[in-house]
């Protein structure tokens, strides 16, 4: 019989393995976001359990994309308005998926709010009341999106410096202290911009 902690890791492994099989690009993105989220939490000296919580939230933040058709995730052209609306449902879908696994319910806020922004311009709710875990994940998610190619975003990729500058230029949206911590980590460590996992 698995105890609660082992159940949690068992369910996370189950979900992440499923995501890896369903859409490898989203899986790789999730691993990178989780790693950066953990490093920021560690740098700030957050309690160990909070560091792990944030890393798990980062790993599962896009789990709702398992409900988005592959044809949409891989679409090489810009998304239509309807397709974009479907894509914007993934935080809610991810939160609903986690609720199916009681040991993972505590991760719901990190997943549900990672696309919300401090000025209320995010989604799915347009709120400015955002848990710190989701603020950290949101910065790491946006940074990785800017610096990693995606099928529906063929714009020129930003360099690390350009991406950090863009995030810093929007303190109304992103927690500036999180962006600064990310910048410091990227300067200190060369292993966080791995290309292959």
Q: Is the dihedral of CA 35, 36, 37, 40 positive or negative?
A: positive
Q: Supply the pLDDT for residue 138.
A: 99
Residue 172 makes CB contacts below 8 A (sequence gap 6+) with 117, 118, 119
CATH code that applies to domain 18-193: 1.10.3210.10
Assess whether pLDDT exceeds 70 at residue 78.
yes
Region 121-143 average pLDDT: 98
pTM of the full predicted structure? 0.93
Q: How confident is the model at residue 156 (pLDDT cuts 50, 70, 90)?
A: confident
Q: How confident is the model at residue 5 (pLDDT cuts 50, 70, 90)?
A: confident
Query: Where do the domains of the chain lie?
Result: 18-193
Assess whether pLDDT exceeds 80 at residue 192.
no
Token representation of residue 180: 């600064």
Instruction: Give the integer Cα–Cα distance in Å for 123 and 44.
Output: 27
Q: How confident is the model at residue 149 (pLDDT cuts 50, 70, 90)?
A: confident
């Amino acid at each position: 019989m698995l105890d609660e902690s082992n159940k949690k890791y068992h369910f996370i492994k189950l979900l992440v393995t499923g995501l890896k099989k369903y859409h490898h690009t989203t899986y790789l993105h999730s691993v990178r976001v989780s790693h950066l989220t953990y490093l920021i939490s560690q740098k700030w000296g957050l309690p160990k359990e909070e560091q792990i919580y944030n890393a798990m939230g980062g790993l599962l933040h896009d789990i709702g994309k398992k409900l988005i058709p592959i044809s949409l995730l891989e679409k090489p052209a810009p998304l239509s308005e309807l397709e974009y609306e479907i894509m914007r449902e993934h935080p809610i879908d991810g939160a609903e998926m986690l609720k199916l696994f009681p040991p993972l319910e505590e991760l719901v806020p990190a997943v549900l709010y990672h696309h919300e922004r401090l000025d209320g311009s995010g989604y799915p709710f347009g709120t400015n009341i955002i848990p710190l875990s989701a603020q950290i994940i949101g910065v790491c998610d946006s940074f990785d999106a800017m610096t990693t190619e995606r099928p529906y975003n063929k714009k020129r990729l930003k360099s690390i410096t350009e991406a950090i500058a863009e995030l810093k230029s929007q303190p109304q949206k992103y927690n500036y202290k999180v962006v600064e911590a990310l910048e410091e980590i990227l300067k200190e460590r060369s292993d966080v911009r791995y290309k292959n996992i």
